[in-house]
Structure 1
Amino acid sequence: MEAVKRWRSDWRYPTTLLCIYGFFSTVKPMEPFLILYMTGPDKNLTTEEVNNQILPVWTYSYLAVLVPVFLLTDWLRYKPVVVFQCVMLFVTTALLLWTRSVPAMQAMQFSYSLVTACDVAYFAYIYSVVEQKRYLKATSFCRSVQLLGYTVGSVLGQLLVSFHLMSNDNIVVLTLVLTSVALLVSCLLPMPRQSMFFHRVQNTKSNAEGTTDASTSMKSLEEIKEEKSNTSIESVEDNTRAKEEVGPKVEDLKESEGSQSCGKILLQLWRDFKQCYSSRQLLYWSVWWAMATCGYNLTTNYVQVLWDHVQPSQNFSIYNGGVEAVSSLLSASAAYGVGFTEVRWEKWGELTLGGFSGLGAAALFLMTFIGNIWVCYVGYIIFKCMYMLLITIAMYQIAADLTMERYALVFGMNNFGSLALQTILTAVVVDSGGLGLAIIPQFTIYASYFSLIAVVFSLRGLFTVWRATENQTETTPPNESEPPDSIEHRL
């Protein structure tokens, strides 16, 4: 019994459970063949209905629920949101299996938007139950297992579809079973005692004491005497009022304290937001993050429609699952290799963002205009690897100068910005209420969008390199290694 208690109190226990949950919740054999499933005889939907009416619902819903879910995640202390995420994943898979109409598929996309919005709880949970020195190791475990689960799902789906080992409906049933395992594991997760914003009793207390001490040390002797006299007068008045009326109820006091603490938290978040984005370097990296993630999401959401247009899945053998598995593994290798490079990213980072974004744009143009399925597959792998490589660099550069609370705030705001851009492009380009473009014009716009990102950040990167070189030759001593354009102060 003591060994079991020690194991449950150790950081490896919640990390192991979260890894098991991450694996079973990401094994989705049908996901690489979703368009094939929806436009085939199983659902009998048209490509136009899927492209212009069903898929855009996810973008709109995701934007609407992202901020409320972000706040509720911290307020509820993560575990309930992790469980809720798995429940909604089960609902999403069930709707995909047992419904056929366009409105039902739109409801399925809405439930899936809740699943993706709850992703913030997955990694935030581990930071609340693991000590800070274990953050990097626990995060790497969870990310690796998620990637492994997605790769296993893609390979499994490819095998099942290519060799006709299961019908499409039975593959979705298998996904339901795997999701049920993840739901059971999520219920076993220990409940965190604190969170980053709403449940920080010790940190809040220490901060309050520190603030009080600092403010007191700034006061003069006359001010202190004045405060004491005012305090004595107020205490006499309070005693007089206490004799005349009954004091407030305990419940009212608790309610006012709760609302006040919530207000203080929101005010502190706003102050942190202004201070974080006052750094120009962080702002530039965040702008690229928002713009590139928007384009990446649009590309991955609709790439199966492009593949089906280039080579109809009903007439030929397709290898979507294998392509997704290869792209995931190569992307992970590229992201992993960044950790072993010794580059002054504060000097060369923006130029790197522009250059590799240009390679991603070129891959998208090839996918759009060549009209060969293998070119499409290779172009998608290159595009995904470029994005994963750059987003890893951006995440590292931003996180290096942030505390954990501001880490969550900045990352959440960057994702919200990318989703806002994605919503605008979806409403104008994809939605049947807007232009409702076909898939080839859509991907032409996506490729042009990444070309714009490449041009802007390449020019900005060239200017940064030129300015850094000029400053180093004119003002920096030869033995000084501090980069001239580094962030002025730690956030």
Structure 2
Amino acid sequence: MDGYRTSPSNSWIYPTVILCLFGFFSMMRPSEPFLIAYLSEPNKNLTTTQITNEILPVWTYSYLVLLLPVFVLTDYVRYKPVIVLQGISFIITWLLLLFGQGVTSMQVVEFFYGMVTATEVAYYAYIYSVVSPEHYQKVSGYCRSVTLVAYTAASVLGQLLVSLANLSYFYLNVITMASVSVAFFFSLFLPMPKKSMFFHAKPSREIKKSLSMSAVLAEPHEGEALGCGKEKSTSEVPATSGNVHDDQRSSPKAKNATLRVFAQWFLDLKECYSSKHLFYWSLWWAFSTAGFNQILNYVQILWDYKAPSQDSSIYNGAVEAIATFGGAVAAFAVGYVKVNWDLLGELALALFSVVNAGSLFLMHYTANIWVCYAGYLIFKSSYMLLITIAVFQIAVNLSVERYALVFGINTFIALVIQTIMTVIVVDQRGLNLQISIQFLVYGSYFAVIAGIFLMRSIYIIYSAKCQKKVQSPAASQNPEGPHSEESRNTIVSTKL
């Protein structure tokens, strides 16, 4: 490890390759599009009601409970142990899927899968602690794209094995088990970072200044984190020596280290969400992600309801592959679209939320499985397009550290909303609605989101037009013209 550290030009290659290999094999899960069909087979003998109301909700609840503790633990133990934990959780999940029987065993499966999803933060955050800032954009693209490629390849492979080779769903899970085991193997070879984003980073003058009035923050810190926002230069983020962690432990002030970190997070969040632009994009992110996760969790049950797997051929793998590819193309296209997002961004959120609502209504009302598949393709591609825009809008004005924090809070809020939705709509202690009716509720949910952002966008556009009329007479007498710096700043400040 020290050897690769001494070669700055190549220091980012080894950890990036290992992490990408971990990401590829952890996402190479050909059995996933056929999970509900597998659980409904005579071997497992689970009813749709048991799967819908007793098993799948456990994932939402466990994910919610684990997310914040894992988020804190990930930074404190410096990522690698949490990535290894994710690998172990993958193996336990698929061992239970292969050999477990009954509702209780499958509920334990969902708990460990909640651990898998909660620990994903380590995968995306790890690389920023072992490479220098000039490589952030490059390695972010590698780490994210490799998971997309793996998921698409796994879906295609699963569909081909089911449709052409007539392979049973059990052996698809055996292949997945082998793949996640390889991922766990690669996780063991990741270099251990010597610094982290928050707990083991050196203090900066900027943070010291912002916290100087706080009695509890005697020795503030600075770190880098998950995301693709504005990065600080290498000189602003000095390399952390291997003794920093030990020095913090030996210092009397280390007793307040956790308190300092949480206080810093609170101040950062307060400053970030004071921006109306960021607040509303984050609001859409949280509410839409809650709905999106709910759709992903239950869409296979809807497909099985429309076309039972015991009576007909299913093409879930092909649909997932096409949907993922379509979403990737849509997300890629965002980089080439020139739009004034400050003015028209929330209108885009409203319009595409209408598309999301319409596709879910289509999935509810149609009796044709192919039309249902088409609705899902539209829904997933639309969401991936918008979430890419939202990520960009939030990240563009934030440091990497703050992006990590905002991302974590937005995800947590989304999980709270999803949990409330699950308890009310799905859980047997709530309304316990039939799967088709659930999608009517989800369509209505996105329709409400669309209505909120449509009203908001109309207000923004109307305010901008009124401001333009007010500014026009003043601009005509301004010797610098309507494009002077003062005029531009006045207009921009009143858009939101």
For the aligned pair, the TM-score class normalised by the smaller chain equals 0.7 to 0.9
Provide the aligned C-alpha RMSD in A. Answer: 2.4
Within a 5 Å distance, the mapping from 1:79-478 to structure 2 comes to: 79-201=80-202, 204=203, 206-207=205-206, 254=250, 256-475=252-471, 477=475, 478=482
The aligned counterpart of 1:36 is 37
Contact 1:7 1:13 in 2 (8 A): no
Change (3 A) 1:440 1:214: closer
Displacement, 1:257?
2.1
What are the Cα deviations for residues 165-200 of structure 1, in whole angstroms up to 9, with x where unaligned? 432222211111111111111111111111110011
Amino acid at match of 1:123: Y
What are the Cα deviations for residues 334-374 of structure 1, in whole angstroms up to 9, with x where unaligned? 00000111111011000000001101110110111011101
Displacement, 1:253?
8.3
Which structure 1 segments of 5+ residues have no match?
Answer: 216-249
Displacement, 1:95?
0.7
Amino acid at match of 1:157: G
Amino acid at match of 2:456: R
Contact 1:468 1:484 in 2 (8 A): no
Please tell me whether Structure 1 or Structure 2 has the larger radius of gyration of its CA atoms.
1
Amino acid at match of 2:161: L
What are the Cα deviations for residues 271-310 of structure 1, in whole angstroms up to 9, with x where unaligned? 1111111111111111100100011011111000100111
The aligned counterpart of 2:18 is 17
1:479 to 463, 470, 483: 483
Determine the C-alpha separation between the residues in 2 that align with 1:457 and 1:165.
47
What are the Cα deviations for residues 405-445 of structure 1, in whole angstroms up to 9, with x where unaligned? 11111000000011000000100110011111110110000
Determine the C-alpha separation between the residues in 2 that align with 1:20 and 1:115.
17
The aligned counterpart of 1:225 is none
Change (3 A) 1:474 1:20: same
What are the Cα deviations for residues 433-485 of structure 1, in whole angstroms up to 9, with x where unaligned? 11111101100000000000111101111111111222233227422484756
The aligned counterpart of 2:222 is none
Determine the C-alpha separation between the residues in 2 that align with 1:335 and 1:63.
27
Change (3 A) 1:338 1:406: same
Amino acid at match of 2:103: V
Displacement, 1:127?
1.1
Determine the C-alpha separation between the residues in 1 that align with 2:87 and 2:25.
10
Amino acid at match of 1:442: Q
Determine the C-alpha separation between the residues in 2 that align with 1:430 and 1:43.
22
Which structure 2 segments of 5+ residues have no match?
Answer: 215-245, 476-481
Contact 2:290 2:417 in 1 (8 A): yes
Contact 2:4 2:11 in 1 (8 A): no
Determine the C-alpha separation between the residues in 2 that align with 1:253 and 1:405.
23
Contact 2:423 2:430 in 1 (8 A): yes
Determine the C-alpha separation between the residues in 1 that align with 2:211 and 2:459.
45
Q: Alignment partner of 2:367: what SS?
A: coil
Runs of 4+ in 1 over 3 A off after TM superposition: 1-9, 205-215, 250-256, 480-488
Change (3 A) 1:129 1:252: closer
The aligned counterpart of 1:243 is none
The aligned counterpart of 1:237 is none
Displacement, 1:52?
0.5
Determine the C-alpha separation between the residues in 2 that align with 1:3 and 1:339.
34
Determine the C-alpha separation between the residues in 2 that align with 1:384 and 1:464.
28
Within a 5 Å distance, the mapping from 1:50-61 to structure 2 comes to: 50-61=51-62
The aligned counterpart of 1:219 is none
Determine the C-alpha separation between the residues in 1 that align with 2:27 and 2:62.
21
Amino acid at match of 1:57: V
Contact 2:5 2:11 in 1 (8 A): no
The aligned counterpart of 1:78 is 79
Change (3 A) 1:2 1:391: closer
Displacement, 1:5?
6.9
What are the Cα deviations for residues 382-415 of structure 1, in whole angstroms up to 9, with x where unaligned? 0001100111111100011111111111000000
Contact 2:361 2:443 in 1 (8 A): yes
Amino acid at match of 2:449: I
Determine the C-alpha separation between the residues in 1 that align with 2:176 and 2:343.
46
Change (3 A) 1:154 1:213: closer
Contact 2:364 2:440 in 1 (8 A): yes
Higher helix share: 1
Displacement, 1:3?
9.0
Determine the C-alpha separation between the residues in 2 that align with 1:335 and 1:354.
18
Determine the C-alpha separation between the residues in 2 that align with 1:430 and 1:154.
27
Displacement, 1:164?
3.7
Amino acid at match of 1:388: M
The sequence identity of aligned pairs, in percent, is 48
Determine the C-alpha separation between the residues in 2 that align with 1:7 and 1:137.
16
Determine the C-alpha separation between the residues in 2 that align with 1:174 and 1:379.
30
Q: Alignment partner of 1:475: what SS?
A: helix
Q: Alignment partner of 1:59: what SS?
A: helix
What are the Cα deviations for residues 187-241 of structure 1, in whole angstroms up to 9, with x where unaligned? 111111111100112xx154577679999xxxxxxxxxxxxxxxxxxxxxxxxxx
Contact 2:287 2:414 in 1 (8 A): yes
Change (3 A) 1:209 1:374: closer
